[in-house]
């Protein structure tokens, strides 16, 4: 069997009257929330400006270091190009003269130059990284 529907009977109450104290409390909450929002915005704006300045500084440092490194490589490889050219000319001369000792000596020189790295004389790359991280490091060329 089905239950008969239960009917609720009662009185609907009107909303409670808002007192001046409640209105003042709500206004205080709004003012506090807006002040907090303004403070957070100011702090975040300052942080964004600081990060933007840091980024610009680091990008400038990277570009300056890149320019120096490119210049160094151009000079180092130009020197190597000249060395290889002279060594191969000497190898051709030794081969044309049929001088195996001279050819062997020149070939050893070519291999030695080929094995050396343009950065080999700079030392440990870990030390270079530490120097790059140190803003007070003075680079001498």
Mean pLDDT of the chain: 81
What is the domain partition of the chain in residue ranges? Answer: 28-118
Prediction pTM value: 0.47
Distance between CA atoms of residues 100 and 106, nearest Å: 10
Q: Which residues contact 137 (CB under 8 A, 6 or more apart)?
A: 131
Q: What is the dihedral of CA 86, 91, 94, 99, to 10 degrees?
A: 140
**Does the structure show a pLDDT above 60 at 48?**
yes
Residue 49: its pLDDT value, please? 93
Calculate mean pLDDT across residues 89-107. Answer: 87
Looking at 10-14, 118-122, 130-134, which range is the least confident one? 118-122
Angle at 126 between CA 124 and CA 132, to 5 degrees: 110
DSSP H/E element including 55:
helix 20-97
Answer yes or no: is pLDDT of 33 > 90: yes
């Amino acid at each position: 069997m089905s239950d008969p529907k239960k009917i609720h009977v009662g009185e609907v109450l009107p909303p409670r009257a808002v007192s001046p104290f409640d209105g003042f409390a709500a206004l205080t909450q709004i003012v506090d929330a807006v002040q907090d929002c303004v403070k957070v915005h100011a702090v975040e704006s300052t942080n964004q400006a600081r990060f933007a300045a840091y980024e610009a500084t680091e990008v400038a440092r990277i570009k300056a270091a890149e320019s120096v490194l490119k210049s160094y490589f151009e000079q180092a490889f130009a020197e190597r190009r000249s060395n290889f050219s002279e060594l191969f000319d000497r190898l051709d001369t030794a081969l044309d003269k049929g001088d195996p000792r001279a050819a062997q000596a020149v070939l050893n020189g070519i291999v030695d130059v080929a094995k050396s790295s343009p950065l080999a004389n700079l030392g440990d790359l870990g030390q270079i990284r530490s120097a790059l991280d140190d803003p007070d490091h003075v680079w001498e060329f």
